[in-house]
Structure 1
Amino acid sequence: MTIFAWFALVLWGLSYLLEQRLVWFDEKSQLLELGNNGELAQPLITELRNRGFSLSGSVFHISSESCNCNWRSAGHTSSVKRQVTESGGRNHNIDIDQFNELKRFVPATPAIIMFNKSSELIYLGPYADGAFCTTESSFVEALIPLVSMEEKAPEWINTVAKGCYCSV
């Protein structure tokens, strides 16, 4: 086997293994259904407030300790947390396995939920898509400045991302 053929085979194998791990964030369309029925934002807000959270300018980083995708998104998550703090927002870490009521709103991890200063939902979904969920494929960096604003922001429920996610 030539070096070129060996190299091509290795690249194909790596590509195949990475693609096998990619899944849809909202694989069962549960977020899509909640959003279409108007049963997402207000019940989510109520649930978080009932748990004692202040939503004003808050960003919730949702993870599952057992998710094998955490290592892929760790750098991106740290970067987002730093940017949220620098923009005047507050970060909250939630292990979804300790917060079963939230599973109805978050179909997979790692995930992020963002609210502006007026406690309005800005974004719910994954940080990014793709095999490594990095800043290059991020959905959230452009939304971070909205966290510290009081003006009405568009609400984005991201149901169409494909990447390394763990169903909850």
Structure 2
Amino acid sequence: MKRTLVALAAFCALSPVFAQSSAPTAASAPAAQDAASAPAASKREARVEERIAELHSSLKITPQQEAQWSKFADVMRDNGRTMADLYRQRIAQRDTMSALDDMKQYEQITQANADGTKRLVEAFEPLYASLSPEQKKLADTSFRSEHGKARRGGAHHRSRAAGADAASTTKP
């Protein structure tokens, strides 16, 4: 049960990482895509940093916990970059992908998300162990409430009818 909660907490901690704004179509010139994706990339990075700062504050991380916290935050950043790169590729190729290519790319994104969550859990476990009982309650409540938002149809759940656009702009 504890491991499941940690996995869910890690997933929720990542949810802001995957937020994407609309990107130019694949028919656009590559330079235009790069120019348009630069602001989106900086917004994604800012959202990750915002979530890291928010968690740091809400969990009341102490100086003694900074080493574990830093490892956890670094995994969040790495996961954010990985997912952003994969979604950027998906956006660039969406108009030329076959159905099979689309499924393979979705598999790659899903696997990267699972791998990232596993790394996040591995980084969170020693941090969680170092938390005081009060901090653990804060973490449990914080992650539980974030997961509850996802279940209620938060911003990261999109209609399947939106097709490739939903897959390229979702916020898990």
Q: Which has the higher strand share?
A: 1
Task: Name the one with the larger helix percent.
Answer: 2
- Which is bigger in relative contact order (C-alpha 8 A, separation at least 6)? 2
